[in-house]
Amino acid sequence: MSRLQVVSGKGGTGKTTVAAALALALATEGKRTLLVEVEGRQGIAQLFETEALPYEERKIAVAPGGGEVYALAIDPELALLDYLQMFYKLGGAGRALKKLGAIDFATTVAPGLRDVLLTGKACEAVRRKDKQGRFAYDCVVMDAPPTGRITRFLNVNDEVAGLAKIGPIHNQAQAVMRVLKSPETAVHLVTLLEEMPVQETADGIAELGAARLPVGRIMVNMVRPAPLDETALRLGLDRPPRKAIAESLSAAGLGDTRRGGGAERLVEPLLEQASEYAERYSLEEDQRAVLTEFGRPLHELPLLSGGMDLAGLYELATALRKQGIA
């Protein structure tokens, strides 16, 4: 199993949710995982219903079987000051750099430096060992930028290593790239069964492949239940037995079948919903077929009808475990 699991996907597909569920799923049986956030959105805190996360690894959840999930919101500015302190003992000068706008420059304006710091911090957590020489975390899960930016984000170290041809940034960038391009890393893509996210997944796989970054699994999120099977759909839509349906509805206690009666008035709207469902169902089947062709392990996570909450997160983690993700 890869020790750095990067979760990307089109905006709105539920990357953060899937990353969190994955961190929970991988933490079972006494394991310890770290869930990192790199976009300063505090999405993890919102998901776990805690206050905003500081730049500090802290335990946010316990997995079934005694495992632990830690979380960290990486702040590029603090990460940079960390580095300066670690490598140069630049305490005071660090503050002066900040006053000059150099830190702001490095973390927001300078090409790629921000991303180098973010991926660098995650890789540091992957490699970190405790005094007994065991890895501090069994696995690090990153809630990463969306598919449109993921390749540049992960590959920025290559670019930076080329730009800064010598010096510590160069070395750092190269060390990070060694982790990211190894089997230690897997980049998972979250999608929905809709055309645009599936198209982005295809683009993402191609781009990651071209940059020789390891593509992991495809996670189909928010899969809706299928209350009508295909036989029923065909029967219901080809020549809907309106009268019989009305009778059925009436038999189930939903009013009477004459014109304008409770049951009769339900028939058309229910059939209309079924026809919308059929259209969506066939589109979803098409997209599922496209996803299968990518030849990557495919996982499906159900849409939680009550909306997303902590209980739902555990539900998704269980689903992932059942699908053999760990």
Partner 1 sequence: MTPEPARPLDDARTLDDATRALDVDALIDDAETRIVVCCGSGGVGKTTTAAAIGLRAAERGRKVVVLTIDPARRLAQSMGIDSLDNVPRRVKDVDGDGELHAMMLDMKRTFDEIVEAHADKERAEAILGNPFYQSLSAGFAGTQEYMAMEKLGQLRSRDEWDLIVVDTPPSRSALDFLDAPKRLGSFLDGKLIRLLMAPAKVGGRAGMKFLNVGMSMMTGALGKLLGGPLLRDVQTFVAAMDTMFGGFRTRADATYRLLQAPGTAFLVVASPERDALREAAYFVERLAADDMPLAGLVLNRVHGSGAAQLSAERALAAAENLEDNRIVDQGDGKEAVRSSPEHSATPETSETPTEAPRPGQTTPDPRDAPDAPAGSAAPEAHETHTDADASEEQLTAQLTAGLLRLHAERMRLLDREQRTRDRFTSLHPEVAVTEVAALPGDVHDLAGLRAIGDRLAG
* Contact set for partner 1, span 66-85 (CB under 8 A): 84
Binding test (CB under 8 A) with partner 1, winner from 56, 88, 289, 295? 88
Binding-residue total with partner 1 (CB under 8 A): 92
- For the segment 162-181, give every residue that binds partner 1 (CB under 8 A): 163-170
283 binds partner 1 (CB under 8 A): yes
**Nearer to partner 1 among residue 66 and residue 105 (C-beta):** 105
Give me the least distance between CB of 290 and partner 1, in Å please: 13
Residue 29 CB neighbours (<10 A): 12
**Nearer to partner 1 among residue 22 and residue 249 (C-beta):** 249
50 binds partner 1 (CB under 8 A): no
321 binds partner 1 (CB under 8 A): no
- For the segment 211-250, give every residue that binds partner 1 (CB under 8 A): 224-225, 227-229, 232, 235-236, 241, 244-245, 247-250
262 binds partner 1 (CB under 8 A): yes
**Nearer to partner 1 among residue 181 and residue 224 (C-beta):** 224
φ, ψ for residue 12 (rounded to 5)? 85, 0
Q: At how many degrees (to 10) do helices 76-88 and 113-127 cross?
A: 70
Binding test (CB under 8 A) with partner 1, winner from 1, 86, 206, 251? 251
Binding test (CB under 8 A) with partner 1, winner from 132, 259, 293, 324? 259
CA–CA distance from 45 to each of 39, 61, 314 (Å)? Answer: 13, 11, 15
Instruction: Say how many residues make up the chain.
Output: 326
Tokens (6 digits) for 175: 């060390």
Give me the least distance between CB of 262 and partner 1, in Å please: 4
Instruction: Name the one residue in this structure whose structure tokens are 């998901």.
Output: 47
146 binds partner 1 (CB under 8 A): yes
152 binds partner 1 (CB under 8 A): yes
**Nearer to partner 1 among residue 10 and residue 217 (C-beta):** 10
Give me the least distance between CB of 321 and partner 1, in Å please: 25
Exposed e or buried b per residue across 96-124, where buried means at least 16 C-beta atoms within 10 angstroms of its C-beta: ebeeeeebeebbeeeebbbbbbbbbbbbb
308 binds partner 1 (CB under 8 A): yes
- Quote the CA–CA distance of 63 and 139 in Å, as a whole number: 14
Residue 225 CB neighbours (<10 A): 8
183 binds partner 1 (CB under 8 A): no
Instruction: Name the one residue in this structure whose structure tokens are 């849409």.
Output: 303
- Quote the CA–CA distance of 34 and 27 in Å, as a whole number: 9
Binding test (CB under 8 A) with partner 1, winner from 145, 204, 214, 216? 145
Asked whether 18 and 301 are in contact (CB, 8 A), the reply is yes
φ, ψ for residue 84 (rounded to 5)? -60, -40
**One symbol per residue from 2 to 41: x for binding partner 1 (CB under 8 A), - otherwise; what is it?**
--------xxxx-------------------------xxx
Written as one letter, the residue type at 189 is: L
Asked whether 201 and 191 are in contact (CB, 8 A), the reply is yes
